[in-house]
Amino acid sequence: MNTSLNKSVAIWNCGIVAKSLTKIVKAISADQNTISIICSTEYDKRSVESKLKETASIVVTISDVFDEYKKQGDSLNNDRVMKLSEENEIKYGVNMVEIISADRHIGRGFVKGAWYPRSTLSENITYIESLNIINGLFDFFDKFFSKSKIDVLLLEVASISPKVACVVARSHKVEVRIPHPSRVDKGYFFSKNEFIEYPDWSSSYKENLEKINKHKEPDLRIKGESYYLAKSEIIGYLQYGSLINTIKKIITQFVTYFYRKLKGYRKYTEYYFTDKVRAIWRYHRGIVKAQNKTYIKHSSFLNKNYVLLPLQLEPESSMMVMTPEFNNQLYLIHLIASNMPASWTLVVKEHPLALGVRPSGFMTGIESYPNVCFASPFDNTKEWYKRSQAVATINSTVGYDAAFDGVPVLSFGKYNFISILDHVYYVNTSKSIFSAFNAIKKNKFDIEQRRIQGFSLYETIKNNAFLLDARAFLSGNAKDVDIEIFASNFIKS
């Protein structure tokens, strides 16, 4: 994409863009680009209009769609909604249920691996009303793209509204750009769809591979670390293990709740206050319970064959949006446990951020498999995966780390960039998993070649991504030079 020549750019005011919106708009519009802003609430729209009245040509809010849904109430014609839904499925080439399941509110029933707070939207909406909202969003973005003649849409995807925006954008031939962590150091890249596909860096990877094979570089160690922001989040989350910190968090929730109420700030997706407090207490209890539980020791598995499965956090866009083709971790465990060689064990490692989050019966169901056991969520994940026969993942960062280190990976995610490696197997059925296990047992690719391939891909991503201090962007403290880097890479993408 080259936006340096009078392009019309729409920016969704959310995610890492929100707190630095004014600076980002200034940087992008400096190249004579026309800027439109999409907001999630009326409150955000008023705020943006006051700050960017000289820069943004159009400012809209999707709250208009939700306002209309509320007005219609019981007057909905079910047959008409269903007919329009099917017409939109044909027109835009997407299943309506895929869109519903991308949202943690109206798609709550599709999330099987987590308990999380209910919301005004999740508890007060029917299936027909959900379809009606999505039809309204289709109409909203169809008119928006037609009227504004948008060329490029910059956004992050974490719910139905941006998901629909991406779908409609494709039908209008509007390019989509989504900033996302590269999973190498503090690197970021711009994906071109909501599935967060990486850019086509295959030629760069092949060049790196040829170079390393030719010079046989002795040091293939990965010197950086994967997505650093997630690691800092885990450290912060584990503070809930302290009763004092937990009480402080609950008090903060009370203060925030009454402040927002006083200011009149409302969202249709507002989580129930009592559930938010309950969630904090669940975090505390989950961490304390895990700290007191007995898990298998890594030292006892040094000479055993096992597959490591690091569970992923739910509900998260990584599974709800990025992998609509496979997002059920319980089914994933069933497939692996049912197809492993007799002498192998499936070692499940809980995500630290999911402690206290799993629904009742989730872990009990996993424990019933005779060839499955649990590693401590506090263990060093690398110590587990580097001696494993394979790592299984939908699209977790651990899967990428393992692949970089030459460990075979069973990839259930369709769009994982690591699938370019010979030791990464895209699987989604019993047959494909069984075949992958056979290939791994036969050891078709020696460890040295796997490490060379993994290191080559790591270097490819590192060299092609751009550095971004996500924490600074999210807090509104991004430096001008970082804004320029973000804007220039957006333009080059």
Which residues partner with 151 through β-bridges?
Answer: none
H/E element, 287: helix 273-292
Task: Give the pLDDT score at 434.
Answer: 96
- The strand pairing partners of 334, in sequence order, are none
Q: Which amino acid is at 332?
A: L
- Could you tell me the residue ranges of all domains in the chain? 8-195+468-492, 293-464
For residue 330, give every residue at least 6 positions away whose Cβ sits within 8 Å of its Cβ, in sequence order, or none: 112, 113, 362, 365, 366
What is the model's pTM? 0.91
- The answer to whether residues 424 and 418 touch, using CB atoms and an 8 Å cutoff, is yes
Digit-by-digit pLDDT tens for the chain (493 residues) are: 554 557 899 999 999 999 999 999 999 988 777 999 999 988 899 999 999 988 888 999 999 898 888 777 778 899 999 999 999 999 999 999 999 999 999 999 999 999 999 998 899 889 999 999 999 999 999 999 999 999 999 999 988 999 999 999 999 999 999 999 999 988 999 999 999 999 999 999 999 999 888 876 556 555 545 544 456 677 888 889 999 999 999 999 999 989 888 877 777 678 999 999 999 999 999 999 999 999 999 999 998 999 999 999 999 999 999 999 999 999 999 999 999 999 999 999 999 999 999 998 899 999 999 999 999 999 999 999 999 999 999 999 999 999 999 999 999 999 999 999 999 999 999 999 999 999 999 876 678 889 999 999 999 999 999 999 998 999 999 999 999 999 999 999 8
Which contacts qualify for 358-363: CB closer than 8 Å, 24 or more apart? 358/113, 358/114, 358/115, 359/112, 359/113, 359/114, 359/115, 360/115, 362/112, 362/113, 362/330
Residue 208 to residue 466: CA distance in whole angstroms: 18
- Answer yes or no: are the C-beta atoms of 194 and 157 closer than 8 Å: yes
314 token code pair? 């739910």
Provide the β-strand partners of residue 358.
none
Which fold does the domain 293-464 belong to in CATH? Answer: Rossmann fold (3.40.50)
Contacts of 244 (CB under 8 A, 6+ apart): none
Asked if 323 and 413 touch (Cβ cutoff 8 Å), the reply is: yes
Q: In a 3-state reduction of DSSP, which class is residue 83?
A: helix
| Cα 119 to Cα 78: distance, rounded to the nearest angstrom | 24
Cα distance between residue 264 and residue 262, in whole Å: 5
Distance in Å from the first CA to the final CA of the chain: 5
DSSP, collapsed to helix, strand or coil, labels residue 35 as strand
Question: What local confidence, expressed as pLDDT, does residue 57 receive?
Answer: 87
What one-character-per-residue DSSP string does 372-409 give? EEEE-TTS-HHHHHTTSSEEEESS-HHHHHHHHTT--E
